[in-house]
Amino acid sequence: MSKLAIHGGNPVRTKPFPAYNTIGEEEKRAVMQVLDSGVLSRFLGCWDPDFFGGARILEFEMNWVRFFEAKHAISVNSNTSGLFAAIAAAGVEPGDEVIVSPYTMSASAACILGHGAVPVFADIDPSTFCLDPAAIAEKITPRTRAIVTVDLFGHPFEADLTMALAHKHNLIVIEDAAQAPMARYKGRWSGNLGHMGIFSLNYHKHIHTGEGGMVVTSDHALAEKLQLLRNHGEAVIEDKGVSDLGNIVGQNYRMTEIEAAIGTEQLKKLPGLMTPWIQNAREISSFMGQFAGITPPKEQADCQHSYYVHASKWNAEITGVIRERFVEALRAELPPTLGRESEGAVISGGYVRPLYLQPVYQKRSAWALKHLDNQPRYFKGLCPVTERMHEEELFLHEYMKPHLTREDRQAFYDAFEKVWEGLGELT
């Protein structure tokens, strides 16, 4: 057996993995057409045909509607902006409670704080890592106004049970689908599973526009509110004849014509990217499933995972080694990815620390938390499944991406097998 790199042996591979880059000549031509037109943005913050943006914005939104079988698509300058707009459109007011996952990017909960409301963290399902409907049910109170659910790592949330709770308690469900384009739940696209769904077009997503996002909804009233909130709606409501003024204090969440032009070309590429992406992920799951103590990502029946990352679980009792030592040894065998050299190998233990353990919640530094008579309790142990996944079991990698060759994936397999044979050296 070769000596592990973590102990001074030669690594399995030293040549960096190639960068994931979906930008090509199509996007360059589209950008140059926008630049040549001289119209880089066409939004006007008054009631005018250009209130809805320029030709590229309208084209991109319509293409998104057609592709994802939505009724309305509203472009924004980030998924975060989309979440803030969705919370406002849902009618969330100061003091309201919004149930949200603790295991997600910070914006999924910050949008709640930003409207003076209270994030209520419910635990996750240990198989899909999405919100557990049973945990949601336990957190509903008379003050609950909405649920922000996250299609974490690309697996759609349990929509039927969650939406049944929402209908029973008259709640709005906001689906953060940032990591889940082309994921499916019982034949329906992610993003369409709640009342509003938000996609990310940040540079490290499946497709991107540099920065950007898209909100979809089948509700015309919510779509109108989202359009107002995106573009200084308070200045428009009189001329537009809007009677529902709740929360219509708009922002500048507008996407540029350049980003929309890039997005239109990127959207065309999405199916061609996702087919090998999913195939590679399933191949890797089959490989990893051979090893006792490792549980590859679960793809629930009637669902399609989009594998933003490949998220598996580690069982230290079976393997005899804690996750951190295994991940550390595996990282030592593989090189970084071009453009991401400072990160080392794209393998990690855990995802983000449970949000309620962040200082903003522990110190209650946000306005919404400072001024409450009944202070919410954010403490270690609040969501035990989430904490166990983060601290002990979950480990992630990105070697399923479609630009990686069979040779690239084989390097991951070889490194994995080498470290597995040397587990005894890591105890």
Residue 182 lies in a domain: no
Q: Residue 391 carries which DSSP code?
A: I
> What pTM was computed for the model?
0.97
Which residues lie closer than 8 Å to 253 by C-beta, 6 or more apart? 76, 77, 78, 81, 82, 84, 85, 229, 230, 231
Report pLDDT for 325: 98
Mean pLDDT in residue range 340-352: 97
| pLDDT > 90 in the chain, percent | 94
Q: What is the mean pLDDT of the chain?
A: 96
Residue 115 lies in a domain: no
- Report the pLDDT averaged over residues 300-328: 97
Task: Give the model confidence (pLDDT) of 249-264 as tens digits.
Answer: 879 999 999 999 999 9
Range with lowest mean pLDDT among 41-55, 198-212, 232-246: 232-246
**Could you tell me the CATH number of the domain that includes residue 331?**
3.90.1150.10
Q: How many whole angstroms from its chain centre is CA 258?
A: 23
pLDDT computed for residue 247 by the predictor = 86
Q: How confident is the model at residue 246 (pLDDT cuts 50, 70, 90)?
A: confident
Count CA within 13 A, CB hemisphere, residue 155: 25
Distance of CA 363 to the CA centre of its chain: 26
Our measurement of the distance from residue 227's CA atom to the centroid of its chain's CA atoms, rounded to an integer in Å, reads 22
- Cα 290 to Cα 288: distance, rounded to the nearest angstrom: 5
- Tell how far CA 314 is from the center of its chain: 23
Q: What is the mean pLDDT of residues 369-390?
A: 91
In angstroms, the CA 388 to CA 366 distance is: 27
Question: Model confidence at 241, in pLDDT bands (50, 70, 90)?
Answer: very high
- Domain-embedded: residue 98: no
pLDDT digits (tens, 9 = 90+) for 406-422: 999 999 999 999 999 99
| pLDDT-derived band at 1, boundaries 50, 70, 90 | low
Q: How far apart are CA 222 and CA 75, in angstroms?
A: 14
pLDDT for position 20? 97
Helix (H, G, I), strand (E, B) or coil at 303: strand
Q: In this structure, is residue 259 part of a structural domain?
A: no
On whether residue 331 sits in a domain, the answer given is yes
β partners of residue 231:
252
Note the pLDDT tens digit of each residue in 256-303.
Answer: 999 999 999 999 999 999 999 999 999 999 999 999 999 999 999 999
85 lies in a domain?
Answer: no
Residue carrying the six token digits 């991401």: 340
Q: For residue 352, is it within any domain? A: yes
The answer as to whether 286 is a domain residue is: yes
Instruction: State how many domains the chain has.
Output: 1
Domain carrying residue 312:
270-426
Query: Residue 243's pLDDT is what?
Result: 87
The Cα–Cα gap between 186 and 404 comes to: 30
